[in-house]
Amino acid sequence: MPEALAHVTRGDLIECIHYGDLAVCDATGKLIASVGDPSRRVYWRSSAKPIQALGVVQSGAADRFAFTARELSVCCASHSGSAEHVETVRGILAKIGLDETALQCGTHWSGDTAERNRLIKADASPSPVHNNCSGKHSGMLASCVAWGADPGSYLALDHPVQKRIYENLSVLSGVPVADIPCSVDGCGAPTHAMSLQAMATAFARLAWPDDMPEPIQQAAPRIVAATAAEPVMVSSRGSFNSLLLEAGMGRIVAKGGAEGLFVLGLTAHGLGIAVRTSDGNGRCHPPVVLHLLASLGCLERDLGEALADFVRPKITNCHGVTVGEIRPAFELA
pLDDT in tens, the chain (333 residues): 999 999 999 999 999 999 999 999 999 999 999 999 999 999 999 999 999 999 999 999 999 999 999 999 999 999 999 999 999 999 999 999 999 999 999 999 999 999 999 999 999 999 999 999 999 999 999 999 999 999 999 999 999 999 999 999 999 999 999 999 999 999 999 999 999 999 999 999 999 999 999 999 999 999 999 999 999 999 999 999 999 999 999 999 999 999 999 999 999 999 999 999 999 999 999 999 999 999 999 999 999 999 999 999 999 999 999 999 999 999 987
CA-to-CA dists, residue 17 to 2, 143, 199, 216, 307, angstroms = 11, 43, 24, 39, 23
Largest CA distance in the chain: 62
Q: Whole-angstrom Cα distance, residue 199 to residue 185?
A: 17
Q: Is residue 90 within 8 Å of 131, Cβ to Cβ? A: no
Name the CA dihedral angle for 45, 172, 292, 295, rounded to a multiple of 10 degrees: 170
pLDDT of residue 165: 98
According to DSSP, the residues that pair with 324 across neighbouring strands are 315
Judge residue 57's burial from the number of C-beta atoms within 10 Å of its C-beta, 0-12 exposed, 13-18 middle, 19 or more buried: buried
Q: For residue 14, what is the enclosing H or E element?
A: strand 13-26
Q: Whole-angstrom Cα distance, residue 153 to residue 188?
A: 12
**End-to-end CA distance of the chain, in Å?**
14
Exposure string over 291-321, b if 16+ CB within 10 A, otherwise e: bbbeebebbeeebeebbeebbbbebeeeeee
pLDDT of residue 333: 77
Q: Please report, as a single letter, which amino acid is at residue 309.
A: D
Q: Whole-angstrom Cα distance, residue 216 to residue 271?
A: 17
Which value, in Å, is the radius of gyration of the alpha carbons in the chain?
Answer: 19
Angle at 96 between CA 167 and CA 48, to 5 degrees: 30
pLDDT of residue 317: 97
Angle at 119 between CA 283 and CA 142, to 5 degrees: 75
- Reduced to 3 states (helix: H, G, I; strand: E, B; else coil), residue 42 is strand
Q: Is residue 204 within 8 Å of 27, Cβ to Cβ? A: yes
Name the CA dihedral angle for 90, 91, 96, 102, rounded to a multiple of 10 degrees: 0
